Amino acid sequence: MTIAELLAAVEAWPISAAMRGEQPGTEWLFPIIETLHVMALTLVVGSIAMMDLRLLGVASRNSAVSRLSNEVLPWTWTAWAVAAVFGTLMFMAKAQTYAGNLQFRLKFVCMGLAALNMLIFHFGAYRQVVRWDEGEPPMSAKTAGALSLLLWIGVVFFGRWVGFTT
Amino acid sequence: MFRPFADWLADTPLSKTLQDHAWVVPTSQSIHILAVSIVFGSACMVNLRLLGVGRSGRSISQLSNTVVPWMWRGLAALLFTGLVQTIAEPVRQFVTPMFWAKMAMILLVATLTALYATAVRRNAALWDAASSRPWPARIFAVLSTLLWLAIIVCGRFIGYTWSFYA
């Protein structure tokens, strides 16, 4: 089965048809799922921004980086999982269209790079967090914070743009 | 009642200029969502702590004093981008009951947040200890969370319902 065939098959599923509002009583399903996706994604971006701004030394300077991380990141992951589930449902409605959409692809490029950036930070600068936990993060941590902020802004922009280009 | 005003606004040179540039509304909406992330993310952090959910990092007063100023900055960005979107597409906004419900709820939640932030600043010790925390804390937390969720629903649904009223 090629990817094109897989996407076509996904679109043919009853749940995908329901997401397109093609089944009785499902006319409002897409807007409702989209609203839940927006609620979850704002929590993802809001919590990540809090972490990034701390790394950049802009906000929450009275809070240790590791403490803020423990406080915030469980919510980030939970909200991300929720956003991913609802996002997948939205994707299924028009899988072929979204897969071929430039903004949609760029959104996932940004998210992939954000994940890579997070891994590099976690296994790099963050391993010595005890040395700078209460104070000024090193340049590598600041860079990770700035990159993360920019990439997530990209995710939101391209995500919003998908709705205008499909 | 607001329709004549909306029609007049849509005909002004400023509105026409915004309408002529196709990137303005999507860009403004993207910034709007980023600002929602800051405001809603911050509100959830405070409210969850007031309800005793989540790990305790900072004290309530530390958290509020850090996060509430960011909520005002986010709200300023929301008002600005919201204004741009309203000038660009006045009819869409003014004919929808969702829009007016959203505005009323924003006024209410902003007032409640200002009252809460003032109370915490005046008497941090009282608010920091769960045993002495004034009883309205939990009511504020529940009300504020529900209001922000309803505001997001109304915001997203303006786009899906305005054509019924126009």
Tell me the ipTM for this assembly: 0.92
Contact predicate B25/B85, CB 8 Å: yes
pLDDT digits 0-9 by tens, B1-42: 789 999 999 999 999 999 999 999 999 999 999 999 999 999
Instruction: Supply φ then ψ for residue A98, to 5 degrees.
Output: -65, -40
CA distance readout (Å), A126 to A142, A145, B66:
11, 12, 23
Short-list B157, B18, B24, B20, CA closest to A39? B157
Q: Which residues from A are below 8 Å from B152, CB to CB?
A: 35, 38-39, 42
CB neighbours of A128 closer than 8 A, spacing ≥ 6? none
Amino acid letter, A112: G
Q: Which of A42, A60, A80 to mutate to test the interface with B (most CBs of B within 10 A)?
A: A42
Mean pLDDT within B95-122: 96
Would the CB atoms of B30 and A160 count as touching at under 8 Å? Answer: yes
What's the first-to-final CA gap in chain B, in angstroms?
12
Cα-Cα-Cα-Cα dihedral of A135, A139, A140, A145, to 10°? Answer: 70
Mean pLDDT within B62-75: 94
CB-nearest partner of A46 from B37, B55, B157: B37
With bands split at pLDDT 50, 70 and 90, how would you rate the model's confidence at A63? confident
Contact predicate A148/A117, CB 8 Å: yes
Mean pLDDT within A137-162: 96
Q: Which of A30, A33, A35, A62 to mutate to test the interface with B (most CBs of B within 10 A)?
A: A35
The least confident of A97-101, B2-6, B73-77, B147-151 is: B2-6
In sign, the C-alpha dihedral spanning B101, B150, B141, B66 is negative
| B123 Cβ under 8 Å from any chain A Cβ | no
pLDDT digits 0-9 by tens, A143-153: 999 999 999 99
With bands split at pLDDT 50, 70 and 90, how would you rate the model's confidence at B56? low
Report the alpha-carbon distance of residue B39 to residue B155 in Å, rounded.
14
CB neighbours of B162 closer than 8 A, spacing ≥ 6? B91, B92, B93, B95, B96, B98, B99
For position B140, what pLDDT does the model report? 97
Mean pLDDT (chain B, rounded): 93
For position B55, what pLDDT does the model report? 65
Report the alpha-carbon distance of residue A165 to residue A159 in Å, rounded.
10
CB atoms within 10 A of CB A16: 18
**Based on C-alpha coordinates, what's the Rg of chain B?**
18
With bands split at pLDDT 50, 70 and 90, how would you rate the model's confidence at A9? very high
Does B131 score more than 90 pLDDT?
A: no
CB atoms within 10 A of CB B60: 20
In sign, the C-alpha dihedral spanning B30, B33, B35, B41 is negative
Short-list B69, B67, B68, B63, CA closest to B124? B63
pTM value?
A: 0.94
For position B37, what pLDDT does the model report? 97
Report the alpha-carbon distance of residue A160 to residue B32 in Å, rounded.
10
With bands split at pLDDT 50, 70 and 90, how would you rate the model's confidence at B118? very high
Going from N- to C-terminal start, the domains of chain A cover 28-165
Mean pLDDT within B71-86: 97
pLDDT digits 0-9 by tens, A42-54: 999 999 999 999 9
Contact predicate B50/B137, CB 8 Å: yes
pLDDT digits 0-9 by tens, A67-108: 899 889 999 999 999 999 999 999 999 999 999 999 999 999
Helix/strand/coil for B59: coil
Q: Which residues from A are below 8 Å from B40, CB to CB?
A: 39, 42-43, 46
